[in-house]
Amino acid sequence: MSRPAKTILLALSVLLALAAQADAGAGREQHRDSTSVELADDRGYLVGVPRQPRRIISLTMFTDDILVELVDHRRILGLTNFSLDPSISNVAGKTADIPNRLTLNTEVIIALQPDLVFVANWSEADKVQQLRKAGVAVFLIATGLTIPAIEQKIRIIGRLVGEQEAAERMIERMGGRLQSIKLKVSKIPLQKRLTVLDYSPWGSAQGKGSSWDEIVRLAGLINAVAEFSADEWAQVFLSAEKLLELDPDILILPGWVAGDPQGADSFYRELVNDPSLRGMRAIREKRVYRMPEGLKTATSQYIADAVETLARFAFPNLFK
């Protein structure tokens, strides 16, 4: 099997900094002996780990999501700092028994003596190299932006932590929920599908190639900027005039703004009370919603929750 190509697609969301489209060849496995496994990470680096790692660290939000459900918490040394914040994390409130909240601080991580560390594939190369020189198994992992890519990531994580069967059950539950939603929204004729746009305080929306675009599609809706030219992070920048011109049926605003605890509330009030925007259909018909940020940016099994939340906003009668 050929070595995986380096990931070339990075996506920037409001919260996740940078993310990358999964590489189809990533995660190939080589057996070294009966007690260890070697997998290629999303930069093509072969990472050897015990078959049942017991000192795991997660430094990405989507690996937080997956590991908290997949692994006995006694095997998890730490999660991201974001995992404490219910306004952005899907696992906040579920992790009191996990001891550490961490960033990519090499001294702290080395002192904890982990046997497996998950980091984003765009992480600082010098810090990753420092950890590897200290004997730490660091697995650089890209963010899956589609359902097949998310399934692939769950399987890779499952193999790395020795929980393949649990990973397959997670994928099955996610797929079952998505199929149930699909059956509901399929009752809506294509010509009656609503348009939706997510809009950030800095005037951007997520376009084609983003995980949001996948969520919108699976919820039976039309992304109002799907046909627009997006930047390398799948962002489409919109003027107020263009926002009025698009006039989406539904407007989704952030549930969290980095560095500003009141930012999401303030932005919502400013937008719905803006005299220049009062003619917008979504504002006029009171279809402006704030979606939990952990769901709006979900790239884990929680994407099923995101799809259902958005579908319920759009078609509440289907879920009665």
Q: Check which CATH number belongs to the domain holding 87 and give it.
A: 3.40.50.1980
The verdict on 208 and 269 lying in the same domain is yes
Strand 29-33 versus strand 36-40 pairing type: antiparallel
d(CA 246, CA 147): 28
Name the residue range of residue 195's domain: 189-319
pTM metric for this prediction: 0.88
| 306 phi/psi in degrees, rounded to 5 | -65, -45
The verdict on 67 and 130 lying in the same domain is yes
What is the average pLDDT across 138-164? 97
What pLDDT, on a 0 to 100 scale, did the predictor assign at position 36?
A: 87
pLDDT in tens, 208-249: 999 999 999 999 999 999 999 999 999 999 998 999 999 999
What is the average pLDDT across 112-139? 97
d(CA 224, CA 297): 17
Alpha-carbon distances, residue 108 vs 39, 55, 105 (angstroms): 25, 14, 6
d(CA 226, CA 193): 14
How many structural domains are present in the chain? 2
d(CA 282, CA 194): 11
The verdict on 61 and 143 lying in the same domain is yes
